[in-house]
Protein backbone atom coordinates (compact mmCIF):
# COMPACT_ATOMS: atom_id res chain seq x y z
CA UNK A 1 0.00 0.00 0.00
CA UNK A 2 2.37 2.68 -1.14
CA UNK A 3 1.29 5.97 -2.66
CA UNK A 4 1.02 9.60 -1.61
CA UNK A 5 4.01 11.79 -2.41
CA UNK A 6 5.84 8.67 -3.64
CA UNK A 7 6.74 7.86 -0.01
CA UNK A 8 6.77 4.18 0.94
CA UNK A 9 5.58 2.45 4.08
CA UNK A 10 8.32 2.36 6.62
CA UNK A 11 6.25 0.56 9.21
CA UNK A 12 3.61 -2.06 8.46
CA UNK A 13 1.75 -4.31 10.85
CA UNK A 14 -0.31 -7.21 9.56
CA UNK A 15 -2.70 -9.00 11.94
CA UNK A 16 -0.40 -8.19 14.85
CA UNK A 17 -1.53 -9.45 18.23
CA UNK A 18 0.23 -9.12 21.61
CA UNK A 19 -0.76 -11.05 24.72
CA UNK A 20 0.66 -11.15 28.23
CA UNK A 21 0.27 -13.82 30.83
CA UNK A 22 -0.44 -12.85 34.41
CA UNK A 23 -0.16 -16.19 36.18
CA UNK A 24 -2.67 -18.41 34.36
CA UNK A 25 -4.65 -15.50 33.02
CA UNK A 26 -4.04 -14.35 29.45
CA UNK A 27 -4.40 -10.65 28.64
CA UNK A 28 -4.83 -9.77 24.99
CA UNK A 29 -3.47 -6.23 24.85
CA UNK A 30 -3.42 -5.90 21.07
CA UNK A 31 -5.88 -7.74 18.84
CA UNK A 32 -5.11 -8.48 15.20
CA UNK A 33 -3.95 -5.00 14.31
CA UNK A 34 -3.43 -3.85 10.75
CA UNK A 35 -1.54 -0.59 10.49
CA UNK A 36 0.90 1.20 8.18
CA UNK A 37 2.98 4.31 8.61
CA UNK A 38 4.70 6.21 5.84
CA UNK A 39 8.30 7.29 5.89
CA UNK A 40 8.66 10.92 6.90
CA UNK A 41 5.32 10.96 8.66
CA UNK A 42 4.67 12.31 12.19
CA UNK A 43 2.33 9.81 13.81
CA UNK A 44 0.57 10.15 17.14
CA UNK A 45 -0.83 7.21 19.10
CA UNK A 46 -3.55 8.16 21.54
CA UNK A 47 -5.99 6.34 23.75
CA UNK A 48 -7.08 5.82 27.34
CA UNK A 49 -4.96 4.02 29.92
CA UNK A 50 -4.65 0.35 29.13
CA UNK A 51 -5.57 0.78 25.51
CA UNK A 52 -2.31 -0.77 24.42
CA UNK A 53 -0.68 2.29 22.86
CA UNK A 54 2.59 1.90 24.76
CA UNK A 55 2.64 -1.78 23.88
CA UNK A 56 2.19 -0.90 20.22
CA UNK A 57 5.03 1.59 20.44
CA UNK A 58 7.29 -1.03 22.03
CA UNK A 59 6.57 -3.41 19.15
CA UNK A 60 7.28 -0.82 16.49
CA UNK A 61 10.51 0.15 18.24
CA UNK A 62 11.68 -3.45 18.36
CA UNK A 63 11.66 -3.50 22.16
CA UNK A 64 9.25 -6.40 22.18
CA UNK A 65 7.97 -9.03 19.73
CA UNK A 66 4.36 -9.61 18.68
CA UNK A 67 2.66 -12.78 19.83
CA UNK A 68 1.16 -13.21 16.38
CA UNK A 69 1.20 -11.54 13.02
CA UNK A 70 3.89 -9.85 10.98
CA UNK A 71 5.68 -6.61 11.73
CA UNK A 72 7.94 -4.94 9.19
CA UNK A 73 9.93 -1.89 10.21
CA UNK A 74 12.54 -0.14 8.09
CA UNK A 75 12.85 -3.19 5.92
CA UNK A 76 13.26 -5.77 8.71
CA UNK A 77 10.74 -8.43 9.71
CA UNK A 78 10.83 -7.97 13.49
CA UNK A 79 8.61 -10.88 14.47
CA UNK A 80 11.33 -13.37 13.48
CA UNK A 81 14.26 -11.60 15.12
CA UNK A 82 16.12 -12.68 18.25
CA UNK A 83 16.64 -10.27 21.08
CA UNK A 84 20.26 -9.81 20.11
CA UNK A 85 19.34 -9.00 16.51
CA UNK A 86 16.70 -6.56 17.63
CA UNK A 87 19.23 -4.76 19.79
CA UNK A 88 21.34 -4.23 16.69
CA UNK A 89 18.25 -3.19 14.76
CA UNK A 90 17.36 -0.60 17.35
CA UNK A 91 20.87 0.78 17.45
CA UNK A 92 20.80 1.30 13.68
CA UNK A 93 17.27 2.47 13.07
CA UNK A 94 15.56 3.84 16.15
CA UNK A 95 16.11 6.90 18.30
CA UNK A 96 14.43 6.90 21.72
CA UNK A 97 12.82 9.69 23.73
CA UNK A 98 11.20 8.55 26.99
CA UNK A 99 9.25 10.54 29.51
CA UNK A 100 11.86 10.36 32.30
CA UNK A 101 15.15 8.68 33.38
CA UNK A 102 16.67 9.14 29.95
CA UNK A 103 20.06 10.45 30.90
CA UNK A 104 22.88 8.96 32.94
CA UNK A 105 23.56 11.32 35.84
CA UNK A 106 27.29 10.59 35.92
CA UNK A 107 27.80 11.67 32.32
CA UNK A 108 27.81 15.19 30.88
CA UNK A 109 25.30 16.22 28.24
CA UNK A 110 27.89 15.58 25.56
CA UNK A 111 28.78 12.16 26.91
CA UNK A 112 25.14 11.20 27.16
CA UNK A 113 24.66 12.06 23.52
CA UNK A 114 27.77 10.08 22.64
CA UNK A 115 26.41 6.96 24.32
CA UNK A 116 24.73 5.32 21.29
CA UNK A 117 27.91 5.87 19.28
CA UNK A 118 29.82 3.56 21.60
CA UNK A 119 28.06 0.74 19.81
CA UNK A 120 29.68 1.74 16.53
CA UNK A 121 33.28 1.50 15.42
CA UNK A 122 33.83 5.21 15.23
CA UNK A 123 36.99 6.65 16.77
CA UNK A 124 36.59 8.84 19.85
CA UNK A 125 37.25 12.11 18.03
CA UNK A 126 34.59 11.38 15.44
CA UNK A 127 32.09 10.40 18.12
CA UNK A 128 32.65 13.65 19.92
CA UNK A 129 32.21 15.65 16.73
CA UNK A 130 28.89 14.05 15.91
CA UNK A 131 27.64 14.47 19.44
CA UNK A 132 28.54 18.15 19.37
CA UNK A 133 26.72 18.57 16.10
CA UNK A 134 23.59 16.94 17.48
CA UNK A 135 23.67 19.09 20.61
CA UNK A 136 24.07 22.26 18.60
CA UNK A 137 21.17 21.22 16.45
CA UNK A 138 18.89 21.08 19.47
CA UNK A 139 20.22 24.42 20.65
CA UNK A 140 22.36 23.26 23.57
CA UNK A 141 25.79 24.01 22.16
CA UNK A 142 26.54 26.04 25.29
CA UNK A 143 25.71 23.29 27.73
CA UNK A 144 27.75 20.42 26.46
CA UNK A 145 29.79 20.02 29.64
CA UNK A 146 26.84 20.22 32.00
CA UNK A 147 25.53 17.33 34.02
CA UNK A 148 21.83 16.44 33.91
CA UNK A 149 21.30 17.77 37.43
CA UNK A 150 22.45 21.16 36.18
CA UNK A 151 19.83 21.21 33.43
CA UNK A 152 16.14 22.00 33.51
CA UNK A 153 13.55 19.40 32.54
CA UNK A 154 13.15 20.85 29.11
CA UNK A 155 16.89 20.98 28.52
CA UNK A 156 17.21 17.36 29.62
CA UNK A 157 14.64 16.35 27.05
CA UNK A 158 16.53 18.26 24.40
CA UNK A 159 19.68 16.37 25.26
CA UNK A 160 17.63 13.21 24.96
CA UNK A 161 16.50 14.23 21.51
CA UNK A 162 20.08 14.99 20.51
CA UNK A 163 21.00 11.50 21.62
CA UNK A 164 18.09 10.10 19.67
CA UNK A 165 19.34 11.59 16.40
CA UNK A 166 23.08 11.23 16.85
CA UNK A 167 23.19 7.88 15.00
CA UNK A 168 20.97 9.33 12.28
CA UNK A 169 18.21 6.76 12.65
CA UNK A 170 15.22 6.69 10.31
CA UNK A 171 12.63 6.55 13.07
CA UNK A 172 12.26 8.46 16.31
CA UNK A 173 10.09 6.81 18.92
CA UNK A 174 8.78 9.03 21.71
CA UNK A 175 6.78 7.82 24.72
CA UNK A 176 4.99 10.76 26.38
CA UNK A 177 7.95 13.09 25.68
CA UNK A 178 6.24 16.11 27.21
CA UNK A 179 4.57 14.31 30.11
CA UNK A 180 6.77 15.78 32.84
CA UNK A 181 7.22 19.24 31.39
CA UNK A 182 5.56 22.59 31.87
CA UNK A 183 3.64 24.15 28.96
CA UNK A 184 6.46 26.28 27.64
CA UNK A 185 9.09 23.53 27.66
CA UNK A 186 6.58 21.13 26.17
CA UNK A 187 6.09 23.46 23.26
CA UNK A 188 9.82 23.73 22.71
CA UNK A 189 10.12 19.98 22.54
CA UNK A 190 7.23 19.59 20.19
CA UNK A 191 8.64 22.28 17.96
CA UNK A 192 11.95 20.47 17.90
CA UNK A 193 10.32 17.19 17.03
CA UNK A 194 8.38 18.94 14.30
CA UNK A 195 11.62 20.32 12.83
CA UNK A 196 13.24 16.90 12.90
CA UNK A 197 10.29 15.67 10.92
CA UNK A 198 10.03 18.45 8.35
CA UNK A 199 13.69 19.45 8.01
CA UNK A 200 15.49 16.14 8.51
CA UNK A 201 12.75 13.85 7.18
CA UNK A 202 12.68 11.68 10.32
CA UNK A 203 9.66 9.46 10.85
CA UNK A 204 8.25 10.17 14.29
CA UNK A 205 5.97 7.85 16.23
CA UNK A 206 4.74 9.43 19.44
CA UNK A 207 2.51 8.16 22.22
CA UNK A 208 0.78 10.96 24.03
CA UNK A 209 -2.13 11.96 26.25
CA UNK A 210 -1.78 15.58 25.36
CA UNK A 211 -4.19 16.84 22.64
CA UNK A 212 -1.91 19.78 21.95
CA UNK A 213 0.92 17.38 21.19
CA UNK A 214 -1.30 15.28 18.99
CA UNK A 215 -2.11 18.33 16.95
CA UNK A 216 1.51 18.52 15.75
CA UNK A 217 1.22 15.11 14.17
CA UNK A 218 0.29 14.51 10.57
CA UNK A 219 -1.54 11.31 11.36
CA UNK A 220 -3.35 10.44 14.56
CA UNK A 221 -4.33 6.93 15.59
CA UNK A 222 -6.68 6.16 18.43
CA UNK A 223 -6.52 2.88 20.23
CA UNK A 224 -9.18 1.44 22.45
CA UNK A 225 -8.93 -1.95 24.13
CA UNK A 226 -6.18 -3.10 21.80
CA UNK A 227 -7.81 -2.21 18.55
CA UNK A 228 -7.71 0.84 16.35
CA UNK A 229 -10.75 3.00 16.75
CA UNK A 230 -12.07 4.33 13.50
Residues binding another protein (CB under 8 A): 58, 61, 63-64, 84, 87-88, 90-92, 96, 98-102, 104-107, 111, 114-116, 118-119, 124, 127, 163
Q: Which is nearer to another protein, 92 or 220 (CB)?
A: 92
Q: Which is nearer to another protein, 129 or 215 (CB)?
A: 129
> Please, what is the minimum distance in Å from the beta carbon of residue 5 to another protein?
30
Residue 38 contacts residue 1 (beta carbons within 8 Å): no
Q: Which is nearer to another protein, 58 or 70 (CB)?
A: 58
Q: Which is nearer to another protein, 104 or 212 (CB)?
A: 104
Phi–psi pair at 38, nearest 5 degrees: -90, 155
Q: Which is nearer to another protein, 20 or 77 (CB)?
A: 20
SS3 state of residue 28: strand
- Note the helical H segments in the chain: 53-60, 83-93, 109-114, 124-137, 153-165, 183-200, 211-215
> Please, what is the minimum distance in Å from the beta carbon of residue 164 to another protein?
9
**Alpha-carbon span 164 to 40, nearest angstrom:** 16
**Alpha-carbon span 227 to 84, nearest angstrom:** 29
- DSSP letters spanning 50-79: TSSHHHHHHHHTTSS--SEEEEEETTEEGG
> Please, what is the minimum distance in Å from the beta carbon of residue 7 to another protein?
26
Long-range contacts of 168-171 (CB under 8 A, 24+ apart): 169/92, 169/93, 169/94, 169/95, 169/202, 170/10, 170/39, 170/74, 170/93, 170/202, 170/203, 171/10, 171/11, 171/60, 171/61, 171/73, 171/74, 171/93, 171/94, 171/95, 171/202, 171/203, 171/204, 171/205
Q: Which is nearer to another protein, 7 or 98 (CB)?
A: 98
> Please, what is the minimum distance in Å from the beta carbon of residue 12 to another protein?
22
> Please, what is the minimum distance in Å from the beta carbon of residue 159 to another protein?
13
> Please, what is the minimum distance in Å from the beta carbon of residue 182 to another protein?
15
> Please, what is the minimum distance in Å from the beta carbon of residue 175 to another protein?
8
Q: Which is nearer to another protein, 61 or 144 (CB)?
A: 61
Amino acid sequence: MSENNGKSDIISLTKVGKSFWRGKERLDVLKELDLTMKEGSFEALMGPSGSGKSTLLNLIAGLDVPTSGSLKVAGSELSQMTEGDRAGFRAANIGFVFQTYNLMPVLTALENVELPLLLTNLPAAERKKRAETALKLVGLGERMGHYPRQLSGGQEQRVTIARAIVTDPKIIVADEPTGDLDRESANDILNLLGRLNTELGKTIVMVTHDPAAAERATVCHRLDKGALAL
